[in-house]
Structure 1
Amino acid sequence: MSRTITAFPAPRLHLLARIAAAILGGYGFTWGFIAAGASLMFAAGMGFHDAEFLASLLGVLAFVAVFLWTFAARRLWVVWAVLAGGGALLAATGSFVQSLLV
């Protein structure tokens, strides 16, 4: 009988890591998504409150999609890399566009 070695020795720790990625990583990614979306839509000529509202609505959909993808993905390190890297890149984009507008 062979024993397979996994990245997480305990299934509960693996589940806890997925839950943390879904909630914390999803929040960070969504925050960056909303910041980038609102600033880009405002820069394109949309009213500020309209851009903010639309970006927030799309952010809810993005959070749900990222949350579900976190549990469907095969490799947890890929999930963290996409969420942390993508969230940071989106937040930096939003900040850069906002600095150009001011």
Structure 2
Amino acid sequence: MSSTTAASFHAPRLHLAARITAAVFGGYAFAWGIVAAGASLMFAAGMDFHDAEFLASLLGVLTFLVAFLWTFAARRVWVAWAVLAGGGALLAGVGSFVQSLLV
């Protein structure tokens, strides 16, 4: 087997592995950001803490499902990584900032 044949044989597997990794870990980061930002913003708006936490967790589960499926539908895997990891970091920062204002 030549090196070009071997490289083309492994390319689809690496591409699939990159998408699966982005879907699982990137989706988790984005969903965690939604939960952090949502819970802190809802609590700041006057909702009881446990109610805000529960509602944000429900939204986080739905967000993870949508993010997971979207990762496989996205044209480029780097765009999925950028949106999910960057968005998750931004949302977690918002949640942390709002929490620091409340304490």
Partner of 2:77: 76
Gaps in structure 1 of 5+ consecutive residues:
1-8
Structure 1 stretches of 4+ with a deviation exceeding 4 A read none
SS class of match (2:47): coil
Tell me the TM-score normalized by structure 2.
0.90
Task: Provide the aligned C-alpha RMSD in A.
Answer: 0.7
The amino acid across from 1:34 in the alignment is: V
Measured against aligned partners, the alpha-carbon deviations of 1:13-53 in whole angstroms (never above 9, x if no partner) come to: 00000000000001111111100000000000000000000
In 2, the alpha carbon distance for the partners of 1:76 and 1:17 equals 7
Partner of 1:5: none
In 1, the alpha carbon distance for the partners of 2:11 and 2:28 equals 26
Partner of 1:92: 93
Gaps in structure 2 of 5+ consecutive residues:
1-9
Measured against aligned partners, the alpha-carbon deviations of 1:49-83 in whole angstroms (never above 9, x if no partner) come to: 00000000011000000000000000111100001
Partner of 2:7: none
In 1, the alpha carbon distance for the partners of 2:62 and 2:31 equals 9
In 1, the alpha carbon distance for the partners of 2:82 and 2:45 equals 30
In 1, the alpha carbon distance for the partners of 2:13 and 2:97 equals 40
Partner of 1:15: 16
In 2, the alpha carbon distance for the partners of 1:19 and 1:60 equals 17
The amino acid across from 1:20 in the alignment is: T
Share of identical aligned residues, percent?
Answer: 81
